[in-house]
Amino acid sequence: MRDPKRIKRILKLIEKIWTKYPDLRLGQLLQNFAGFTRKDNWNVEDDTTESFLKGYVDMLTMQEHFKKTGEFVCFKCKIPFKKLDKHTFQPDCKHYNKDLRLSVG
């Protein structure tokens, strides 16, 4: 059986994201998150989703940093993200799943 305590932990992460962008509808927020994971999340276990949500919170914080400085760097190791095209960046260190993409613009 899945741990019911995960529900509050996961909802807190969603609350953190939604509070940053209160104009988003919940459906938009969840679709944006699905785009961020680049996965069909149907069969993804919640511990993985929880870790992706943590990564999503970090990415949103980095987007805010990007808007101020024009660059993305990993907050943990300071390695810059690879620029894939004008609007898309990819993490290039061990702290993030390399399948993740960060889009701006």
Interface of this chain with Zn ion, residues 56 to 75, rule: CB under 5 A: 74
User: Per DSSP, what are the bridge partners of residue 73?
Assistant: 80
Tokens representing 46? Answer: 């919640």
At closest approach, how far in Å is the CB of 97 from Zn ion? 12
Interface of this chain with Zn ion, residues 81 to 100, rule: CB under 5 A: 93, 95
Q: Strands 82-83 and 102-103: what pairing?
A: unpaired
Under the binding rule (CB under 5 A), the answer on residue 76 touching Zn ion is yes
Nearest residue (CB) to Zn ion, 7 versus 77 = 77
Residue with tokens 């024009």: 70
- CA-CA-CA-CA dihedral for 9, 57, 29, 42, to nearest 10: -60
At closest approach, how far in Å is the CB of 71 from Zn ion? 14
Residues near Zn ion (CB under 5 A) are: 74, 76-77, 93, 95
